[in-house]
Structure 1
Amino acid sequence: MLFNTFTFAWFFPLVFVLYWLLQKKDLKWQNGLLIVASYYFYACWNWKFLFLLIFSTALDYASGIQIEKSTSEKKRKFWFWLSILINLGFLGVFKYYNFFVDSLVELFASFGVSLHLATLQVLLPVGISFYTFHGLSYVIDIYKRRIAAERDFVVYSLFVSYFPLLVAGPIERATHLLPQLKQKRIFTYEQGVSGLRQILWGLFKKIVIADTCAQYANPIFNNPEAYSGSTLFMGALFFTFQIYGDFSGYSDIALGTSRLLGIELLKNFSFPYFSRDIAEFWRRWHISLSTWFKDYVYIPLGGSQGGRWMQIRNTFIIFLVSGFWHGANWTFIAWGFLNALYFLPLLLTNKNRSHVEIVANHSMFPSFKEIIGMGITFLLTVFAWIFFRAPSVSDALYFIQKICSKSVLQWPTVRPTFLIVLLLFFVLVEWWGRKGNFALEKLWVKQSRILRWSLYLLLLVLLFLFQGEPETFIYFQF
C-alpha cells in the first residue's frame, strides 16, 4: 500500500477513527489494532513476505529475552550472534546474493575463467533493510546493557511493524519508540493540525515535485546518448529534487500520520540542500540512518578517538557501508566512496562540525559566504547523485564525461518552464520554513490566516492537478 493512493485515503481514516474510539479501553486494544493495520498494510504489497517479517520479529523478541536473562557470557554471545547472523543472512540472501554471484562471475571472466553460478529469481521484500535495522539496534542495545528486553510481545511487534515507518523508515530506536507504545496516548488539536500540515507538505513533495521531476529525469538517465551535456546536467538537477521530494516526502507523511495517532517518530530530514558543507549535509539527510551507522558502526570502530589514519579509515568504512546499504550495485558503493572523499578535507582540517545550526538562523537572507558554501555543496551533491541514479558506474562516467564536454554550452533541449517555476516555489517555501521541523510547521502560523490558508488551498489544487497514476517511492527498493 502506498501513501499516495486512494487505498490509503480510506485505510488511514478508518484506522484513525477506530484507534481513538478504543482510547477508553486498555492500551493493548489500541496497540493490537495498530498491529493488525500494520500487517494488512504490509500484506497489500505481498502477503507471503509477511511471514518473514513475523519470523524476524519473533527471533529478535526471543533473543532479547535470552540475552538479558542468561547468566553466562557464552550464552549471551550465542543468542546475540544468532539474532545478528540470521537477520543479516536474510538481508544478504534477498538483497545481495545475486550481486556477489554476478561480481564473482565477472571477476573470473576477466581472467578467462567461465563460472556458471545460479542466481535467485526472487523479489526483494519491501522494507527489509529498515525493519532489519530496527531489530539489530534493539538486540545490540540489550547486549550492551543499554536497555531492558521487552516482555510484551504485542508492544515489541508493533515497534518493528508500525505501518507509518515499516517500509521506508525512519529507522527507529527502541529507546525512543518503545516507551511511547507503552503509555497512554492523548489526542490534541495542536498535534492533529501539525500532523495534517506535515502530511500535506509530504504529499506535495512526492506527487507534485518528485513525480513531475521523474517524468524528465528518467528519460534523460535512460538514454543519455540522445542528449547534450547541458540537458544531462538538467536531468541530474531534476533527479536531485526528485529523490529529495520522494524520500523526504515519504518521511513527512510517515511522521504526520504517526502524529495523528499520538506517536512521535524520529526526524529524518532537516533541509539538507541548504547545507554549507558535506558534513552538514549528512547531518540533515536521512538522519535516522546516518545516526544508526554512527552509533552501531562508526563509534564501535573507534570513531574519532584514534589517530588520524583511524579516523580516515572509519570515515571511508561508514560511507562505503552506507552506500552498500542502499543497494547491491557498484554505483552505490561509488556514491559512498565519493561522499567520503568530499568529507575528507573537512575531517583533516577539523571543520566537520563548523555548521550545526540551520543557515541564516537569525536572519532572512544568507551571507555571501553561506551562499557560496551552499552552492558548492549542492553542486557536489548533484554530481554524486549521478552515480546513485545511473544503472552502472560506466553509465555514470559517460554521463559526467558528456556534461564536461563542449555540449554543456548548448541550450538544453529539455527545459520545462512550469517545472522550473514549481521548483523555485518549492525552494522558497522550504527556505521560509527552514527553522521548523518541516516547512509548514511554523510558516505564517502567527501571521496572516488568509495567507496561510491560501497556501494550503494552492497546495491542494496542485495535488489535484498533478494527481495521476500513483508512483512508488524510490526508497521502497532499498
Structure 2
Amino acid sequence: MIDANLEKKNRQPAKASSGKREMREACKRKNRRIVAGAVVINIGILAVLKYSGFFGVSLASVLAAFGISVDLAIPSFALPIGISFYTLMAVSYVMDVYRERTKADKNLGHVALFLAFFPGIMEGPLSRYNDVAPSLTAGEPLNRKNLYAGTLRIVWGMAKKIIVADRLNAFVKPVFDNYGSYDGGVIALAAILYTIQLYCDFSGTMDVALGMGRVFNVALPENFRQPFFSRTASEFWQRWHITLGLWFKDYVYYPVSLSKPCKLLTTKARKRFGNRYGPLLASAVALFCVWIGNGLWHGAGSQYIFFGLYYFVLIMVGGLIEPQCARVAQHFGINRDRWPYRALQTARTLVIIFIGELFFRSSSLEAGLAMVGRIAGNFTIEAFTTGSALQIGFGVGDGIIVALFMMLVLVVGVAKERGCNVWEWVAARRAPMRWGLVILLFVGTVTFGAYGIGYMPVDPMYAQF
C-alpha cells in the first residue's frame, strides 16, 4: 500500500496545480497513517507479549502508593523465539519503504525470508532489507571459499561460547544469585567475568550466525568491532551490538531530534544557552528516548531501565565536559593521542562497562545497588588469599584455560583493530593450514569446552532479549 501511494505521489508533476498538490499531500498523509499503524501493530504485539506483566505490576505499585489497591490479573504469554529481533527488522523495513530508501517487495515470501532467516532469528544481527535481501533471494550455489570461511567462523564462535562463556557461568551465576554471601572483591570479580562471559557468548553467537550466512553466500552485518578498545562509553556503544545502535539512531534518535517540537526547543535553547549548549537540549530529549528504549528492549525490569539511564547520563555528561577536558589537556601540554592517555581512558571506560553490566546481570535494581554497595563498603581480597574463591565453581585449571583462550581472542582483536581482516587472511592460506586451523579449533573446543559433570548447560544469553 505504501509503495502504491508513493508511485501515485511521484507521478504528479513537480510544478503541480493546487489540486494536484493537495493530492500529493493526501498521499503523504495516507502513507503516514499506514506506517504509524504498521509500527503500532508490530511494537504493540511485542509490548503485550513481553512487557504486559512488568507494566501491570508497575501500575499496581504506583496505585498502591496512593492507597489504591488493585488486583490485576495479568496473563502469562509464551514468547516466540527472537520476537524482539524480527519486530525491529519489520519496523525498519516499513520505515525504509516509507522513506523511499527501499522499494517495496511485491513478493511476500522474500520479506518473510528476510525476517525469518534462521541464523539471525535467535540473537540477530538486526539486518536491513537492502543489505541482505538481494543475496537471500539470489539463491547462489555453495562454493569452497564461502564454505571454508563460514565454517572457520562458526567454529571460532562456538569455541568462544563453549570454552569461555559457559565455563565462566560456573562462577558468575552463584555469586549473582547469592551476592549476600560474598564480599565486595568476589562481587567485583564476578562483574568483570560476567562482562567477559557476555561478550564471548554474544559475539560468539554472532560469529556462528555470520558464519552460517557466509556458507550460504549471505553477508549479514557485523555486530561487534573490538568494543573493549573503546575510550569512551559512547564509543563502546558504537562498537558493541552495532546493529541495535544503528537501529535506534535511524528510527528513534533522528525522528525525535528532527521533529517539530524538538526543532522549536532547539531554536529557543539557542537563544537562551548559545550555539554550543542550546542544541544539546534537543539532543538530550532524543538520546533519552533512545536509552529508555534500549533498556526496555533488553528486558522488562527496573534494572534494565536503570541500565539505559546509566548510559544516557554518562554519554550526556561526557558530551558536556569534553570541550573543557580538551582545554585542560591543551593547557597542561597533554597529548591526548599518546598511549598513556589513551590507556587511562580505556581503563576508565572498562570500569564504567563493568558497573553497567553488573546492573544488567542483576536480578533487580535493588540487587544491583546492593552489590555495588558491597563493592564500595566491603571490598576485601580475603577470598583470594584464603583460596575460598576457588570453591565457588571456578578452579585454577579453569582460570588457565580462560586466560589462554582470551589471549588468543585479544590477538585476533588487535589484528582486526589494525585493519587486518583475519577471516579473509586465513581463507587465502593453503588448504592444509586453513583446514588444520578449523580442526585445531574444533578439537580444542571438544577437549576444553565446559560441559559434562559439574557444568550446567547455558542457553545463548541474548536469546532472552
Which TM-score applies when normalising by structure 2?
Answer: 0.80
Partner of 1:294: 249
Question: Equivalent of 1:176, from 131, 150, 175?
Answer: 131
Question: Equivalent of 2:181, from 218, 226, 233?
Answer: 226
The 3 A distance-change label for structure 1 pair 379 and 420 is farther
Question: Equivalent of 2:446, from 464, 473, 476?
Answer: 464
Whether 1:236 and 2:191 are equivalent positions in the alignment is: yes
- Trace 1:158-173 onto structure 2 (pairs within 5 A): 158-173=113-128
Q: Distance in 2 between matches of 1:443 and 1:277?
A: 30
Relative to structure 2, which stretch is displaced further, 184-193 or 451-460? 451-460
Partner of 2:460: 473
> Deviations 1:191-245 (Å, cap 9, x if unpaired)?
2222112111110111111111111111110001111111111211221111111
- Trace 1:85-124 onto structure 2 (pairs within 5 A): 85-124=40-79
Instruction: Give the letter for the 2:206 counterpart.
Output: S
1:230–1:409 Cα contact (<8 Å) kept: yes
Kindly state the Cα deviation for residue 450 of structure 1 after the two structures are TM-superposed: 8.5
Partner of 2:306: 334
Instruction: Give the letter for the 1:422 counterpart.
Output: I
Question: Equivalent of 1:418, from 397, 403, 409?
Answer: 397
Partner of 1:441: 423
Q: Distance in 1 between matches of 2:397 and 2:8?
A: 63
Instruction: Give the letter for the 1:208 counterpart.
Output: I
Partner of 2:107: 152
Structure of larger gyration radius: 2
Name whichever structure is richer in helix by fraction.
2
Question: Equivalent of 1:83, from 38, 46, 62?
Answer: 38
2:120–2:209 Cα contact (<8 Å) kept: yes
Instruction: Give the letter for the 1:385 counterpart.
Output: E
2:149–2:211 Cα contact (<8 Å) kept: yes
2:412–2:422 Cα contact (<8 Å) kept: yes
Whether 1:432 and 2:404 are equivalent positions in the alignment is: no
2:39 aligns to what SS in structure 1? helix
> Deviations 1:325-377 (Å, cap 9, x if unpaired)?
111111011011111222123322458xx9xxxxxxxxxxx933332222221
Q: Distance in 2 between matches of 1:181 and 1:174?
A: 10
Question: Equivalent of 2:290, from 286, 294, 318?
Answer: 318
Kindly state the Cα deviation for residue 124 of structure 1 after the two structures are TM-superposed: 1.8
Q: Distance in 2 between matches of 1:367 and 1:190?
A: 39
> Deviations 1:366-411 (Å, cap 9, x if unpaired)?
9333322222211110111111111111100010100112343433
Kindly state the Cα deviation for residue 319 of structure 1 after the two structures are TM-superposed: 1.6
- Trace 1:212-291 onto structure 2 (pairs within 5 A): 212-291=167-246
Partner of 2:274: none
The 3 A distance-change label for structure 1 pair 431 and 451 is farther
Question: Equivalent of 1:367, from 333, 339, 342?
Answer: 339
The 3 A distance-change label for structure 1 pair 100 and 440 is same
Whether 1:393 and 2:365 are equivalent positions in the alignment is: yes
Kindly state the Cα deviation for residue 439 of structure 1 after the two structures are TM-superposed: 8.6
1:404 aligns to what SS in structure 2? helix
Kindly state the Cα deviation for residue 74 of structure 1 after the two structures are TM-superposed: 3.8
Kindly state the Cα deviation for residue 451 of structure 1 after the two structures are TM-superposed: 8.1
Question: Equivalent of 2:153, from 198, 221, 224?
Answer: 198
The 3 A distance-change label for structure 1 pair 449 and 189 is closer
Which TM-score applies when normalising by structure 1?
Answer: 0.78
2:146–2:216 Cα contact (<8 Å) kept: no
The 3 A distance-change label for structure 1 pair 86 and 342 is same
Unaligned runs of 5+ in 2: 10-26, 267-278, 327-337
Kindly state the Cα deviation for residue 140 of structure 1 after the two structures are TM-superposed: 0.7
Unaligned runs of 5+ in 1: 1-62, 355-365
Kindly state the Cα deviation for residue 186 of structure 1 after the two structures are TM-superposed: 4.6
Q: Distance in 2 between matches of 1:261 and 1:445?
A: 16
2:163–2:402 Cα contact (<8 Å) kept: no
Q: Distance in 2 between matches of 1:69 and 1:446?
A: 46
Partner of 1:185: 140
Sequence identity, in percent? Answer: 30
Q: Distance in 1 between matches of 2:360 and 2:420?
A: 25
Partner of 1:10: none
TM-align CA RMSD: 2.7
Relative to structure 2, which stretch is displaced further, 277-286 or 183-192? 183-192
2:149–2:427 Cα contact (<8 Å) kept: no
1:275–1:377 Cα contact (<8 Å) kept: yes
